Amino acid sequence: MNAAHILKAKGSGVVIVRPEVSLEEAAQIMTKRGIGCVLVAGDDIASAGILSERDIVREVALGGASRLKMPVGEAMTHPIHTCEPRDSVDHLMGVMTARRFRHVPVVENGEFIGLVSIGDVVKHKIAEAELETEAMRAYITSAG
């Protein structure tokens, strides 16, 4: 399994906000859509970042509610680590674990095509393990 399989199962919608959008606006977008992060991008992918709920909480903890007026470009995580559709689920899990982040944007031909979360990766690893278990049971039953 790879990132493309995950996106096929969950969809490839990506919510992107501009760097000048306020943290408050981004929080409202995330709440309305029921998501934990947004991509932050201006004119090129190289300057892109990611803004998560953690980033917003950190800013409020550091400076109070007035920080909600600051632009997401100042609070986002940058640079971001991206992956390609062909990257394996095992690779994604390794990268997410080693670098301690929960979301990886998927990029193809220089454009964001989706976002894979650690929850997506875990869900697919569990499904993979269940398939292997069922295959082993079927093999044992047929061999006996």
- For the stretch 66-109, pLDDT in tens is 999 999 999 999 999 999 999 999 999 999 999 998 999 999 99
> Tell me: the pLDDT tens digits for 4-36?
999 998 888 889 999 999 999 999 999 999 999
C-alpha 90/C-alpha 54 separation (Å) is 25
Residue ranges of domains in the chain, CATH in brackets: 3-143 (3.10.580.10)
Instruction: Output the pTM of the full model.
Output: 0.82
The answer to whether residue 144 scores a pLDDT higher than 70 is no
C-alpha 13/C-alpha 38 separation (Å) is 11
Alpha-carbon distance values, 24 to 3, 44, 50, 62 (Å): 31, 24, 15, 15
Contacts of 93 (CB under 8 A, 6+ apart): 118, 121, 125
C-alpha 35/C-alpha 129 separation (Å) is 27
